[in-house]
Structure 1
């Protein structure tokens, strides 16, 4: 999914975006933290921590675990069922830097008393580092406070959702929540992807869920419809919700929802297409390895089914798709299918963009080819692929048949946090490839 500052999927930019406040200079963490990574920083002690990003007058909480083996610490972010392992951890002086996976971002922290941390979440992929203040306390394992005397309403189920930006623009979504007592997990699906793994609590008639994946810090709040009479001492399931969506330092939208088990989005395979008269893509982009280039007309791809992935190393939805595509490619490449990843990065520096994509390739064990295609902007991406009518989302997946003709364009990606929608996505992908291979 692509998130702009207003996080409207139909606009350019990426979310779905986070960043943290600082506790040291603007230098990149690898330059600022030079201590041996095998030495466990004293600030990180084993156990579960509750971290909080402070932005827009809100707290965006998340949980993480610290475990040390052989003197080397590992941090694991927890978002619902998701576990994101972070093992690039260094220290210098009283400061500890935790690199956030493939993203050009870090948590930069130092001790703030016993079993407490303070610092910043910093994103380095813009012209200036993007910072949001961060604090953490060891031992706390609940994201949001719940008043014990209040009866939790049921938000469980499927919801038809409309998000509205501060400029009045709207877009549709489907909310799916699973509630056990006061604990809730779920996500929102949109036409360009999903908001990934969300988790939180219900406090009476109020819902709060959040997530932090290293690239995004999201908080969704909601309450039941104000015109509905309720008695929170009794079982009650609201049918209308009113809420707010906060992202990082400035992203804000409101949202409304009605309970609807049949809610669905427009067909992701019909949102974009080729320009009239166009059947093939014609591009030649530099390989991430210096000196090479990639084109669908290269001998390697002729006569094969080719899947083209429009992605960015900054994009969590792209990471979800890549986590599927990388092992899928290894299992299926012998069948006569290839994958090309076209990387659109948050820098115009081709060498730096290649470095970001190479890191992604190495950390995610990507065996297919990656190219530096341009900057992370949907309009720019569409211009770089002029045969396309438009590019609405990162990721976008394009299927070419054995003649090199475009047969399907799939907008967005419903990741594993969407449950049955993810399973349907995988089934549709495999059916499409099987059909093209059989021709």
Structure 2
């Protein structure tokens, strides 16, 4: 449940991050840090790589490390005895006091208006492990696919609403969960005896998974701590054939609609519509997204450079952003920050709020907006040919590769028509 911080805590967001009156700023020891947030479920660990920024005596370049992911944070600065590591796209930041090889402070994230969420944060230089493990041998290898019920009330898998995909080497475990609306991005962790531990922090996603493994029944039962106060139990059973509903059948054009009719303003005030000349006789990809959505950012990280390579083939892209606020004065700058971060060349219009029911009303030609992101592919004649709900990002490995391959094959076919 979201809590409204006291006025003093809110005002802290606009104050300098200094914790003392030092005459010269402290310096951060460069290198790898083992960082963690203190959650209700215990330590939620992740990695940080902090390096001085060339030519800036107070600046640092910071990457968050989750398994194979090196996620760049925004330019970070030191003032007096503290470092501030922002992720402006998600209105999120780490702020910590520098204590030799240790950073101690807080992670905070603005939600709506003056609502702010926060968790204690700590990081230690030179440590590279994720979760502490004992000398207990793993009770089994968890590699493979697991039929999963997130939110299981019984400790059993009565309804498959996710598929866990894991890769275990020794006591190291990596993977993610696929769901009908997207994935849980890069999860990284360890196996200790019969216990599973996985975590992810990316400035927006804050996930801590724990579970017990029963090798006799090939099952997992545990808990998921999400964000500041979210919790749900989960269960999984090993199943190499575990699968999810076809993402091409969840969202569709209503039978009475012939095409997708949209007309929404860009941050500069210009209204963009699929009837505009730039889309005429071109294969067009409509991306339903939000700047607040990490899975949307994974898709954008693919789509933006892909568009640069392919736009000369008669291809266009239109982004429809559904943000937390319907006001352009609030959401317009967030859209522009997103465009700058991912070097987006195609237009992105503010289409409404990120409430799925409201998004569905904004796009009445669709049966519903089930997920952010959703990708709609339209042929040269304006006919909707394919709608893909959700997105399997690079953290899903072969599932991401499969999506990219199928996407390219379909676009090639439509371009040649």
- TM value normalised by structure 2: 0.90
**Aligned twin of 1:271:** 250
Q: Residue 46 of structure 2: which of 58, 62, 69 is its match?
A: 62
Distance 1:245 1:390 in 2: 28
Given that 2:138 and 2:191 are in contact with CA atoms closer than 8 Å, whether structure 1 keeps it comes out as no
Distance between the aligned counterparts of 1:87 and 1:189, measured in 2?
28
Q: Aligned-pair distance for 1:438? A: 2.0
Q: Secondary structure at the match of 2:89?
A: coil
- TM-score w.r.t. the length of structure 1 is 0.86
Identify the residue that residue 422 of structure 1 maps to in structure 2: 400
- The SS at the match of 1:123 is strand
- Per-residue displacement from partner, 1:173-194 (whole Å, max 9, x unpaired)? 1111111110111111000111
Let me know the Cα RMSD of the aligned residues: 2.5
Q: Distance in 2 between matches of 1:28 and 1:274?
A: 47
Matched, 1:309 2:287: yes
**1:46 maps to which residue?**
30
Distance 1:185 1:57 in 2: 19
CA shift digits 1:86-121 (9 cap, x unpaired): 24213444332211263221112113x432222221
1:344 is matched with 322
Within 5 Å, give how 1:110-125 maps onto structure 2. 110-111=97-98, 113-125=99-111
Contact 1:62 1:143 in 2 (8 A): yes
Match of 1:253 among 232, 244, 258: 232
Contact 2:85-2:94 at 8 Å conserved across structures: yes
- Kindly state the Cα deviation for residue 76 of structure 1 after the two structures are TM-superposed: 1.0
**Structure 2 portions without partners, runs of 5+:** 19-23
What does residue 212 of structure 2 align with? 223
Q: CA deviation at 1:305?
A: 1.0
Map 1:4-15 to 2 at 5 A.
none
Task: Work out the CA distance in 1 between the residues paired with 2:258 and 2:65.
Answer: 44
Q: Deviations over 1:191-232 (max 9, x none)?
A: 01110101101000001010101111101111123xx66xxx
The count of residues paired between Structure 1 and Structure 2 equals: 404
CA distance in 2, matches of 1:62, 1:41: 26
* Preserved contact between residue 223 and residue 233 of structure 2 (Cα < 8 Å): yes
User: What's the counterpart of residue 138 of structure 1?
Assistant: 125
Q: Which residue is equivalent to 2:21?
A: none
Deviations 1:62-87 (A, max 9, x none): 11111114333111110000001224
| Structure 2 CA distance for aligned equivalents of residues 28 and 361 of structure 1 | 29
Distance in structure 1 (CA, Å) of the matches to 2:121 and 2:413: 49
| CA–CA separation in structure 2 for the residues paired with 1:153 and 1:30 | 50
State whether structure 2 residue 172 is matched by structure 1 residue 187.
no
Structure 2 equivalent of residue 172 of structure 1: 161
The CA deviation string for residues 257-288 of structure 1, in whole angstroms up to 9 with x for no partner, is: 11111211111101111223112111211112
Aligned twin of 1:334: 312
